[in-house]
Amino acid sequence: MQRFAGRTALVTGGGSGIGQATVLRLLAEGATVGAADVSAEGLEKTTALATETGTGGRLSTAVLDVADEQAVRNTVDLAVRGLGHLDVLVNAAGILRGAHTHDCSLELWNQVIAVNLTGTFLVTRAALPALLATGRGVVVNFSSTSAEFGHPFMAAYSASKGGIQSFTHSIAQEYSKQGLRAVSVAPGGISSGITNGIGTLVPSDIDWSLLSKMSPAIGEGLGSPAAVAGVVAMLASDDGAFITGTEIRIDGGAHQ
């Protein structure tokens, strides 16, 4: 499929996990992609993977901390100028930090909110003029199953992802008459840098049985980042033309 031939996309969090898989999927379908990530090493890996598949010529990268307002403005502006126009924005950048809520420091809370929620806002705000100029711009934001289901020890993360869903609904309505679509994906039980390292991101003394609901009901383990990337590509393409102001849960039936 070449659903994105002649179209452009900017993907944050493109240096690892689901963000990286999304970059590679959009490239495979013909898009010209700008990938941003806080990790230069991660972006180098993404570039190497794209080069292996013969799509690296349509990929540009930029190191970016999405919580840095001025850096976001500069990076998005440069990306749009380099791409020529912007059809799709995918906000995949995010972090997870866990704590017993009664022990959660304001520093930890603010860090998670700054990257996940404020970062999504900052990048979207900077990209909106270019997205609206196309008359059919698409924003795909990354929420999580934690936004709607109780994931203990992740209060800051859950709050940030719930905020992303509300933000997505708001802009979907606000810019609907200008052709913009905005959708959230809510992954759960996906193998990524966050989930694979969860043991080091939550307190060591937690009751792991409280996290049992996060296990997929189908398959034999965690889902792949590629499974989420496929849904993102559908939503961002014309196949998702009648989908906006909602969220799509991708969790292998873990939260039925």
Could you list the active site residues? 157
The neighbour count for residue 115, using CB atoms within 10 Å, is 21
How many Å apart are CA 238 and CA 174, to the nearest integer?
Answer: 21
Q: What is the 3-state secondary structure (H, E, C) of 67-111?
A: CCHHHHHHHHHHHHHHHCCCCEEEECCCCCCCCCHHHCCHHHHHH
Tell me, what DSSP letter sits at residue 242? T
Strand partners, 35: 11, 61
Q: Is 249 exposed, middle or buried (0-12, 13-18, 19+ CB in 10 A)?
A: buried
3-state SS string for 121-161: HHHHHHHHHHHHHHCCCEEEEECCHHHCCCCCCCHHHHHHH
The CA distance from 67 to 160, in Å, is 13
Nearest to 40 by CA among 59, 58, 64: 64
